[in-house]
Structure 1
Amino acid sequence: MTDVLAPPARPARPSRAKSDDSYDDVVDMFVALATMPAESHEYRRQRERIVNRCLPLADHVARHFGRRGEGLDDLIQVARLGLMNAVNRFDPDKGPSFIGFAIPTMMGEVRRYFRDYSWSMRVPRRLRELHVQIGRATADLSQRLGRAPTASELSRELGVPHEEIVECLVAGDAYQLDSLDAPRGSDGSGSTRSVADGVGGLDPQIEHITDREAVRTLVSGLPQREREVLHMRFFESMTQSQIAERIGVSQMQVSRILASTLQSLRDHLD
């Protein structure tokens, strides 16, 4: 009777292969790789199997950094480059876990990419590295304080001088630059203003740049005495009498030199 009333035994759940989560099978693949000649076709095929086995791991690392302003496709390529470096350098005799070696290698490659290549403008390396530290400290302090931390609070948290924190925060604006055509609200008339509308202004002397450069070339081709007379008159603000005394001629000759030289320059410009 007891056997009749007893509930039927439930079938045991199939256990997941340990290698699916831990990548322990990769170490065995490396052990097999070490027995193959490095120039052989079998060696290349085995190495390719290891890389393909670990590609999901690299993609997971890339997605971890996916919301920091860079395209996911670019980050996947960088993480996979780190994976290749890990495969090339991993030695199963020195460490039993490939994950423990590969993940820091891939994350380091992605962090170097952010540090060295993702800035829109060239910024000193020390500021790029400090920018990463400030980002982490800002998240921790914001959670603790319930608000965004000040530069002084970041300085105390990181043990970095206040001036360097401020310099890095200013430099952080160069991480991603806005397009000059990006909208910046509207003006009083309701028209949309762009970034370019608030950056600088039109140089009133811009039209004279071509003339100045043309005159510079013509003046450099004048005889030495004419160049000296022009320099003394227009750059040293000397009178014709002072120029005449310096070069040992009459004031009238200085007047004729100036007149003929200026006329020659005008003719060439026209």
Structure 2
Amino acid sequence: MSTTGTEAGAGTLPIIPDTSAVAPKDARALSKLFFRELAVLEEGTHEYQYARNTLIEMNMSLVRYAAGRFRHRADEMEDIVQVGMIGLIKAIDRFELSREVEFTTFAVPYIVGEIKRFFRDTSWAVHVPRRLQEARVELAKATEELSTRLGRTPTVKELAELMSLTEEEVIEARLASNGYNSSSLDAALSGDDEEGDASLTDFIGSEDPAMELVEDFHSLAPLIADLDDRDRHIIHLRFVEELTQAEIGERLGCSQMHVSRLLARTMKRLRAGLLETG
């Protein structure tokens, strides 16, 4: 361990040129010294910041050690380490030498807890209540235990008995588990077609505007049936045969203006009938 005097304004604390080079054993001894000074320094002063920052830098190995337990996760290790640093900082701010416990013993649970909280809050593709997130973990353990014991997939009733839950709660936990992972709509699906791989987007249906027409026709049918023969005939000529008002007038032997008034009156009646139905 190498120190070079005292930093200007850092009080009696030694200067550590390279905190990353401090061995874990030396870091434990130095941490006690820095914590002792931190307890009497005024927060916000240069000396206080120096002591706190040095403690953080010297104990970063604790974060890397704790983060190593989560290497199997898909998340980037650098992200996990950054989250663990938050736990380390919380531990430093809350640690007291009077606890008579090693700082490493005190800090690791804070670091691991912060990392686990990160996974709990960000790993779910769809947000579900915390009780269901916890139930998912218990469900996975119970399923594995019963599958090994029974040699088959356990039933909902068997899971409910082992977990001391109702069958409805087990089913709810299973449904919530679907929100843990998600797939991109652009994800390729391997296929044998000549056009190459398809994506999930290709299998998602779109809204069919014609479906709305079915509802409209169903609602209009009784209203049109209530019209007299002439009005129904005009409706047929205008919207089925798609004749112009002038052409309808020629067929009926009346003016275009008269056809326009008849259509307007009929449309108003049908519109009012649809609104009442709605």
What TM-score do the two structures reach when normalised by structure 2?
Answer: 0.61
- RMSD of aligned Cα (Å): 3.8
Give runs of aligned pairs for residues 177-216 of structure 1, distance below 5 A. 177-187=182-192, 191-199=196-204, 201-205=205-209
Deviates more, 1:174-183 or 1:163-172: 163-172
Are positions 1:150 and 2:154 aligned together?
yes
Contact 1:180 1:194 (C-alpha < 8 Å) held by counterparts: yes
Are positions 1:54 and 2:56 aligned together?
no
Shift of 1:157: 3.8
Q: Would the alpha carbon gap of residues 256 and 41 (structure 1) be closer, same or farther in structure 2, given more than 3 Å must change? A: closer
Aligned residues: 210
Q: Which amino acid aligns with 1:204?
A: D
After superposition, give the CA deviation of every residue in 1:12-36 in whole Å (9 maximum; x if it has no partner).
Answer: xxxxx8726x946533431222132
After superposition, give the CA deviation of every residue in 1:108-145 in whole Å (9 maximum; x if it has no partner).
Answer: 21122122222111212211122233345556x28954
Distance 1:205 1:38 in 2: 66
Deviates more, 1:102-111 or 1:65-74: 65-74
Distance 1:178 1:137 in 2: 26
Q: Would the alpha carbon gap of residues 132 and 78 (structure 1) be closer, same or farther in structure 2, given more than 3 Å must change? A: farther
Distance 2:207 2:24 in 1: 70
Q: Would the alpha carbon gap of residues 90 and 29 (structure 1) be closer, same or farther in structure 2, given more than 3 Å must change? A: same
- Per the alignment, residue 112 of structure 2 pairs with 107
> Equivalent pairs: percent with the same residue?
28
- Per the alignment, residue 164 of structure 1 pairs with 169
* Structure 2: gaps of 5 or more residues: 1-22, 214-218, 229-260, 271-278
- Per the alignment, residue 92 of structure 1 pairs with 97
Distance 2:99 2:143 in 1: 38
* Structure 1: gaps of 5 or more residues: 1-16, 210-232, 242-252, 263-270
- Per the alignment, residue 25 of structure 2 pairs with 19
- Per the alignment, residue 35 of structure 2 pairs with 30
Give runs of aligned pairs for residues 237-256 of structure 1, distance below 5 A. 237=223, 239-240=226-227, 256=264
Q: 1:71 aligns with which of 68, 73, 76?
A: 76
Shift of 1:207: 10
After superposition, give the CA deviation of every residue in 1:58-109 in whole Å (9 maximum; x if it has no partner).
Answer: 1222221232332222211111111111111112213422222211111221
Distance 2:71 2:173 in 1: 23
